[in-house]
């Protein structure tokens, strides 16, 4: 178990399912499980209140999400012995996020990942963006969606789930993007230990959009993720240059360190990516012609027995192994491909007036 002093990451808590149940009983005095709770988490530098929502299910699992960046701060999930541990890199205090927490599980937008040369042309008009990744643009800009306060609405709990809906209006010209974009992200925790993220958006002017969540998972609850076994059922990826800008083509994963078509230890071939990269940071092409929920990845920690399955309607998933935080977390960012706005062979990321952007990703936790 690591501490903030040891690793730069917050202390990860472990408690038993019995403890969770007793806590729930004490909160409700024997009444129904309190599936949804709202509290104040802190304040921004300009005094805006940041709210924190706690979702709980009947299996002892809980998820915390705050209005700053619509960010997940904690996911408590059981191992094979029923021990509940936080499997997400997060912080206990809002000040850590305000000061630049290095591994926030925030919503990324308008456009996740990279846009080459920090500019694009749409309908004959060139739009210039922040060059915040060398000469390129990444994750929506200097502030993006990850550092703004979202409106939040707690939805009425159902018999087997609880949910909170976050909303944000990205105004025309924000971070250089065109159009007033209305965005909604709904987090739902079910009694099947499934966390579902439903993304929706509309615009009054054509604009690129590519939303994801940049969660860093560690199914062991401590240490690094290199001993996790990973399955990604994708036989192709999008090759990229030294700046991680796609070349526009596709390549097979067969015979490369990117082949996770059978469960493989993450650290088994990671050294083959050096010195160019300190780990994985690659976009995989999912087999999802129907645009329905398909398996994007399955990760498991052999020691604890925890398993996480990721399903998505998106065409791709970016594997990032927390290279800047000593591989302490594993990111599986469901998304459209990087730099799609410049690549006609990639699925389009352009949303136009009258259209609705809708994508869903689920993270389901179990143990074996």
What is the C-alpha to C-alpha distance for residues 83 and 264, in angstroms, rounded to an integer? 25
Tokens of 112: 């996740």
How far from 301 is each of 213, 220, 315, 362, CA to CA, in Å? 21, 6, 26, 19
pLDDT exceeds 50 at position 84: yes
- pLDDT band of residue 290 (cuts 50, 70, 90) is confident
Catalytic residues: 214, 333
- Is the separation of the CB atoms in 122 and 44 below 8 Å? no
Torsion of CA 363, 311, 196, 205, to 10 degrees: 130
As for how many domains the chain has, the answer is 1
DSSP helix/strand/coil, 237: strand
- Sheet arrangement for strand 357-367: 151-155, 161-170, 181-190, 194-203, 357-367, 306-312, 294-300, 229-231, 264-265
Q: Which whole number is the average pLDDT over 51-76?
A: 98
Number of CB atoms found within 10 A of residue 6's CB: 10
What is the model's pLDDT at position 288?
86
Tens digit of each residue's pLDDT (9 = 90 or more) over 323-341: 999 999 999 999 999 999 9
What is the C-alpha to C-alpha distance for residues 332 and 320, in angstroms, rounded to an integer? 7
What counts of helices (H) and strands (E) characterise the chain?
A: 3, 28
Q: Which whole number is the average pLDDT over 317-326?
A: 98
DSSP helix/strand/coil, 176: helix
By C-alpha distance, which of 276, 291, 231 is closest to 258?
Answer: 231
pLDDT exceeds 50 at position 268: yes
pLDDT exceeds 90 at position 69: yes
What is the model's pLDDT at position 11?
35
213 dihedral zone (left: phi>0; alpha: psi -120 to 50; beta): beta
pLDDT exceeds 50 at position 21: no
Instruction: Tokens 């997940």: give the residue.
Output: 72
What is the C-alpha to C-alpha distance for residues 279 and 327, in angstroms, rounded to an integer? 8
What is the model's pLDDT at position 5?
34
- pLDDT band of residue 163 (cuts 50, 70, 90) is very high
CATH number, domain containing residue 288: 2.70.98.10
What is the C-alpha to C-alpha distance for residues 152 and 51, in angstroms, rounded to an integer? 8
What is the model's pLDDT at position 243?
96
What is the model's pLDDT at position 285?
98
Mean residue pLDDT of the chain comes to 92
The alpha-helical segments, DSSP class H, found in the chain are 4-7, 17-28, 94-98
Provide the whole-model pTM: 0.92
Domain of residue 204 covers 4-367
**By percentage, how much of the chain surpasses pLDDT 70?**
92
Tens digit of each residue's pLDDT (9 = 90 or more) over 90-135: 999 999 999 999 999 999 999 999 999 999 999 999 999 999 999 9
């Amino acid at each position: 178990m690591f501490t903030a002093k040891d690793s730069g990451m917050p202390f990860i808590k472990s408690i038993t399912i019995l403890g969770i149940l007793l806590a729930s009983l004490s909160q409700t005095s024997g009444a129904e499980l309190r599936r949804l709770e709202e509290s104040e988490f802190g304040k921004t530098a300009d005094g805006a209140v940041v709210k924190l929502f706690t979702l709980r299910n009947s299996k002892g699992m809980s998820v915390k999400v705050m209005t700053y960046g619509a960010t997940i701060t904690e996911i408590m999930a059981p191992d094979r012995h029923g021990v509940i541990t936080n499997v997400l890199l997060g912080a206990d205090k809002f000040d850590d996020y305000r000061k630049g927490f290095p591994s926030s599980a925030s919503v990324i937008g308008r456009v996740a990942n990279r846009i080459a040369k920090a500019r694009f042309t749409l309908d004959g008009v060139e739009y210039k963006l922040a060059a915040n990744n060398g000469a390129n643009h990444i994750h929506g800009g200097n502030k993006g969606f990850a550092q703004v306060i979202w409106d939040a609405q707690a939805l009425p709990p159902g018999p087997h789930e609880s949910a909170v809906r976050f909303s944000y209006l990205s105004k025309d010209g924000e971070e250089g993007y065109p159009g007033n974009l209305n965005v909604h992200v709904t987090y739902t925790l079910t009694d099947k230990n499934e966390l579902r993220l439903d993304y929706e958006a509309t615009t009054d002017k054509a604009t690129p959009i590519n939303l994801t969540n940049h969660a860093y998972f560690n199914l062991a609850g401590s240490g690094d993720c290199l001993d996790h076994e990973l399955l990604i059922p994708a036989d192709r990826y999008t090759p990229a240059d030294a700046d991680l800008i796609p070349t526009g083509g596709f390549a097979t994963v067969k015979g490369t360190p990117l082949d996770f078509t059978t469960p493989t230890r993450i650290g088994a071939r990671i050294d083959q990516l050096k010195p160019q990269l300190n780990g994985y940071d690659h976009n995989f092409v999912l087999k999802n012609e129907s645009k329905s929920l398909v398996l994007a990845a399955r990760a498991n920690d052999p020691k604890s027995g925890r398993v996480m399955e990721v399903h998505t309607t998106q065409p791709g998933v970016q594997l990032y192994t927390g290279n800047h935080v000593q591989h302490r977390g594993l990111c599986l960012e469901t998304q459209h491909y990087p730099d799609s706005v410049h690549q006609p062979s990639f699925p389009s990321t352009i949303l136009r007036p009258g259209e609705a952007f809708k994508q869903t990703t689920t993270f389901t936790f179990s143990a074996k």
